[in-house]
Amino acid sequence: MALLFGADPLRRPLLPLLLLTVAALTKNEGLVATAGVAVLVSLRARTDLRRAGLVWLPVLAGGGWAVLVRLLGARSDIADGSSSGVAPWEPEAVQRFHVVLAALWDTVGPVLAGAAVVALLGALFLRERRRAVGLASDGWVWAATACYLIVLVWTYLSGPNDIEWWLRTSVDRLSVLVVLLAVVSCAGWVAAAFGGDRRAEPDPAIDGPRDSVMAGATRGGG
């Protein structure tokens, strides 16, 4: 999230890129989240696409690993592109969609609703303070959340597994990232409310010598 929150997202990219690489190499959902972050960071840094290209290195690492393990014989019902074979307009697909939404609401709905209220109040009353402490727009965090949820819902809809069993055994784990993003959004507004104003901080490179010169002038005049 440092890549989406910071005023200059690629100023110190080593640690965020390392964490994204670990996520992309660990789980399918980690690779999906990494790709989503890469898209959003590229949009943020579209005036400097040369540096923004760095954020795609973890995606390439995760994609290369997925290809390698498949060549070595590993199989996954998700990575293999299996489908439930149900058309989106069929009643079974609609029912599956409702079941998925209900499970997600039970798991992360209250947390997302609370974070949305905090974000709305923050946007109304703390927008200038947020800029003053050097934080980017909270919209990037919510865009990442929306991207992940869309991919997650689509995966549940198009996957081959029995939806009731699949949700029961995976939705808690797969929705952890959504909870973390909601917490990050709230933390950003808390930082905006209680953080110091960077524009008001003195610049020691300017103020220090000036104070010394003034002190010398005072002593000389005395």
Beta bridge partners of 135: 6
- Stated pTM of the model: 0.76
Q: What are the average pLDDT values for consecutive 10-residue runs of the chain, which has 222 residues? A: 68 84 88 90 83 91 89 66 58 88 97 97 94 89 94 88 92 94 94 74 44 45 46
What's the rounded Cα separation, in Å, for the pair 160 and 180? 28
DSSP 3-state assignment of 170?
helix
Which of these, 88, 26, 84, 81, lies nearest to 58 by C-alpha position? Answer: 26
Beta bridge partners of 6: 135
Q: Residue 106 carries which side chain, given as an amino acid letter? A: D
DSSP code at position 137: -
Q: CB neighbours (10 Å) of residue 120?
A: 12
DSSP 3-state assignment of 159?
coil
Token output for 89: 């307009």
pLDDT tens sequence across 151-163:
999 989 888 888 9
Residue 176 Ramachandran class (φ > 0 left, ψ -120 to 50 alpha, else beta): alpha
Token output for 83: 């489908």
Spell 81-107 as b/e; 16+ CB within 10 A means b: eeebeeeeeeeeeeebeebbeebbeeb
Residues in Cβ contact with 169 at an 8 Å cutoff, skipping those fewer than 6 apart? none
DSSP 3-state assignment of 13?
coil
Res 198: pLDDT:
58
Cα dihedral sign, 92-152-175-130: negative
What's the rounded Cα separation, in Å, for the pair 156 and 171? 10
The DSSP result for 44-98, as a single string, is: HTGGGHHHHGGGGHHHHHHHHHHHHHHHTT---TTTTT------TTSHHHHHHHH
Res 204: pLDDT:
45
